[in-house]
Each structure stands twice: as structure tokens, then as C-alpha cells.
A and B are shown apart, each in its own frame.
Chain A
Amino acid sequence: MQLISLRNVSKVYPNGVAALRGVELEISKGEFTFLVGPSGAGKSTLLRLLFREEVPTSGVVLVNGHDVGRMRRRQIPFLRRQIGVVFQDFRLLPQRTVVENIAFALRVTEVHPREIKRRVSQVLELVGLTDRALAVPPQLSGGEQQRVALARAMVGHPLVLLADEPTGNLDPANANGMMRTLLEINRLGTTVIMATHAAQLVDRARQRVVAMEDGQIRRDALAASYSEEVVR
């Protein structure tokens, strides 16, 4: 069974903009998928449908067998506990330390404090921030802040990690580091979907690329690069 599947999915926003038009997409467990395409192509909307930040206007969105679009409100939190999300703008709590920011995700899902401690130190090691554990976000560089956000997304052991332009605010060195960590996370077994404009990162990674334009999928290729012309 596919971990994620979109069947004839369309999304029209209340202001009349059609962000997605008849999208068909299947992603299996353990895959790494790039979503590429110009701004407004529908990449972010597609990701937002997966964690039920938006509902499709028509079509079916399945995540791990659950029909996300028709899910009851009460069930949404439990869907989100299985999905980690990283944004371009980090979305950290500025007054709280790195550890507190990461632990926050587990505290609100009622994990036992001992388990929280164990998992937080694990995930800090994964993103290489063990020595910055007690800093607060304003004291961190952009690259470090994004690592905290990534750690928070991963600390709940999600089935899938969604990254929406995770390197958009990072310099090339930090962007490369972030890319390496995402590939490492995928190698350890987590499915990753990353929406990006960073052609160089996509070209170097040699993973599945889904190219979107005007709310539709134009190209879906394995071990591919950012733009079609370069490959063939």
C-alpha cells in the first residue's frame, strides 16, 4: 500500500485561485521526493493538504490509508502526530530554549517526561545541536534554527517528514548541511517530501523529482534533476 496517494485532487481557494487541478500522485514508504516548480505552482498547497491544514475541493487525499479530507476534526491531531513539518520560516518559540522547543511537541501529545528526555537528546544528536541545547532561538544562526525545527518535526518519530522550502532562508553552506541531514533522515527510514527551488541541491541528490506547474504535475521521474533539459 502507498503511504500517500492523491487521486484527482483539486483545490480552489475561496478567492477563486485554483491551486491544484486534477493531481494524481503516489508516494511509497521510505521514498525521498522533491516537489519542484515555480512559485504558485501548487507545491505548498499539496503539502498543506497532507497534514490537513487545507481540505481538497474535490478528489481524495490518503495518508497511511486515512482519507484526510473527510477526517473528523477530533482525529486531526492524531494525523499530525504522524507527520513532521518544517517550514522556510522555522516557526520556533523565541522565549524557549532549544530543548524546550523540541520537547514542546511531545509535551502537548502527553508523552512521559522520561521518554521526552530520551528522545530529545537522541534527536539533538541527529541534527548536531547537542552543544546548543540551552540556547534560545534568537541566539542561533538561521541554519541552527532550521535544525531545531527539523528536530522538533522528527522527535515524534513521524511516518513522513514534509519540508516546505527548508533551505529558503539559508546560505549555501547551511543549505547543504540541511540537505545532508534530510537525506540521512530518509536513509534511516522516514519518508521525506521536500518542496524546493534549490536546483543545485536537487541535481546533486539524484532522487525522485515531481515537477509542478499551474496546479498540475508536469513530470515525475526517479533519480532525476531539477529541470528536464539538463538530464537527457
Chain B
Amino acid sequence: MRLRTWAFCLTEANQNLLRNPVLAIASITTTAVSLLVLGVFLLLSANVNQITNTIENQVAVRAFFSQSTTSAQEAAALAAVRGSPKVRSAKIVTRAQALSQLKHEFGDQGSVLNSLGSANPLEDSLSVTARTPSDVASVAKQLSRVTGVVRVSYQSQVVSRLFSLIDGIRAVGLGLGILLLLGALLVINNAIRLGIIARRREIAIMRLVGATESLVHWPFILEGLILGLIGSVVAAGASWWGYAALYSSASRSLPFVPLVTPIPFARDIALLLVILGVLLGTVGFRLSVRRLARV
């Protein structure tokens, strides 16, 4: 089609939108809200994912000895562990060192430990660093078999709990997002249908004077595209801007939480939302094509 024919279609599409502004606003709002929900869940699950990976990458394993273990046994265990190819480094942390470290971690509240008097409830332990994150589990297993070791701890419990949290967030987000997208689709479809009915006289005349079917269709396709595009740009802008603001305040007050950086991540999500919005508008039109054929 020629440029002025596109201009003609665009004018027609605009007139449709202006003829029923309430419906246009409803379409745009539902599109924006559903895409925003989707975007928020995507951002959320990506961040939980990132945090989990960070934790998973911590390769430290701690093996605690029973109080009755002798220092000779502990030294033998240390030598054995150091011999393993999966272990990068290992050292013994005595109960005295552990207590003073605990006092240090408690900081201002360190004085609560004074009530213990001279008693030390802690155990000696082996602090082991695995060579790679995937070695952590087997190193832990290996340690649990060492004589005198009563307990092995590493981050696996936290990691698996976070993983199931991510799965939950993804499922809820996807379900809610899809439901809302369907709602938005129906509203857009409805707006286009009403546009077709309002313009049936015009469509009949267009066909009578020899307009091609594509010329009859394009104003409605553009209408759907405009609705989807505006809605998705609102959602994309809100999620990008919102995430960037959240990120900058979070990285100031919680610097140790490894959030995903807004660029390229939030930008890509914003782009995805716009693509989805455009798709939504097009599919909204596709659903109305039959109605258009019956005019």
C-alpha cells in the first residue's frame, strides 16, 4: 500500500479509538496491568534466582567434631581431607576460635556471651572449601564419614528451599499473567468488534466502491496495535523505571543482596512486554476477523 493509504488507515483507526474512548482506555488499562504483573513476576523470579545462585556458589563446608575427639584424630582428618582432589583448602577451627568469632559477629551484643562464664558449648570443626560448587555435596558426604565428625553443614537446605520458592513465584506469576493477558485480549477484541459494528455502513460502502479486503482490515489491525502498544509501553515504562528505582535504593541500603542490574535485564523485560502487547493487539484483531467478514 502507498504511504497515503497507510495514513488513511491510521486516521480511520484513530477515529475508531476516539469514537469510544472509555473502551479504548479500558483496553489500554487491562493490557498495561496484565503486562505489568507479568513483568513484576519476571523481575522477582530472576532476582531470587540470582540470590540462590550466589548462595550456591559459596563453596564452604563445615564439619563439626564431637567434644570427645582428640587433637590427633582431628589432625589425621585434616590431612585426609587435604589429600582429596575436590578440596581447595581446609583448616581446623578450634572451639576457642569459634567462640571468639561468634563474639565478633555479635558485635555490640557480644556481652550476652559473657553469661556463659568459662564454659564453651561449641565444638572444634573443620572448615573446608570445595574446588567448585558442584563438588560441595560430595565433599560434605566425604566429611560425614570421617571419624569423630558428628555433623556436616553447608548451604544445600537454603538453596533447595530458595529453588522451590522460585518455582512457586514463576508458577503464580505465569498463571496470573496468562489469566490477565486473556482478560486484556477479550477487552481489546471487544473494542475492535464494537468498532466494526459502529463502522459497518462504512465497511459496506468501502467494499461497494472496490476497496481491497486488506484496506478494510488494516484500520482495525492498527487499532489493535495501537491499543496493545500504548498498554505495553505503560507497563514496560512502569516496570523498568520502578525496578531501576528499587535497585538504586536497595543497593544503597542492602549492598550485600546481589540484585540483578537494571541494564540490560529490566530493559529486556520492558522490550519483551512491548512485544507481547503488540502481539496481544494483533491477536485481538485476528479474533474479530470473522465478525468483519460478516458485515
Contact = CB atoms under 8 A, between A and B. Distances in A.
A78 B2 contact: no
A81 interface: yes
A223 interface: no
Interface of A, secondary structure class, is helix
B210 interface: yes
A110 B5 contact: yes
A109 B211 contact: yes
Contacts of A91: 201, 204-205, 208
A77 interface: yes
A78 B4 contact: no
Contacts, number: 48
B207 interface: yes
B8 interface: yes
Contact of B209 (A73, A74, A109): A109
A77 B4 contact: no
Most B CB within 10 A of own CB, among A108, A110, A152: A108
B211 A77 contact: yes
Interface residues of B, number: 18
Contacts of B210: 77-81, 105, 108-109, 156
B208 A80 contact: yes
B224 to A, nearest CB: 20
A73 B213 CA distance: 9
A35 B209 CA distance: 22
Contacts of B209: 80-81, 104-105, 108-109, 152, 156
A113 interface: yes
Interface string A44-80: 0000000100000000000000000000011001111
Contacts of B206: 104, 108
B4 A108 contact: no
Interface in B172-231: 201-202, 204-213, 215
A222 interface: no
A93 interface: yes
Interface residues of A, number: 20
Interface string A77-88: 111110001000
Nearest to B199: A93
A77 B207 CA distance: 7
Interface string A92-113: 0100000000001101111001
Contacts of A80: 207-210
A93 B208 CA distance: 13
B116 interface: no
A51 B204 CA distance: 13
A110 B1 contact: yes
Contact of A93 (B1, B2, B8, B201): B201
Nearest to A96: B202
A36 to B, nearest CB: 24
Interface string A170-202: 000000000000000000000000000000000
A80 B213 CA distance: 13
A80 B4 CA distance: 22
A73 B202 CA distance: 20
Contacts of B207: 77, 80
Nearest to A83: B210
B147 to A, nearest CB: 86
Interface string B32-53: 0000000000000000000000
B253 to A, nearest CB: 58
B178 to A, nearest CB: 36
Contacts of B202: 93
A108 B201 contact: no
Contacts of B211: 77, 108-109
Contacts of A77: 207, 210-213
A93 B209 CA distance: 13
Contacts of B4: 110, 113
Contacts of B1: 110
Nearest to B204: A91
B212 to A, nearest CB: 5
A108 B204 contact: no
A104 B8 CA distance: 10
A107 B205 contact: no
A103 B1 CA distance: 18
Nearest to B1: A110
B215 to A, nearest CB: 6
A81 B211 CA distance: 8
Contacts of A73: 213
A104 B208 CA distance: 11
Nearest to B212: A77
10 contacts: A51-B208, A73-B213, A77-B210, A77-B213, A80-B208, A91-B201, A104-B206, A108-B209, A110-B2, A152-B209
Return the 4 tightest CB-CB contacts between A and B, nearest first.
A81-B210, A108-B211, A80-B210, A105-B209
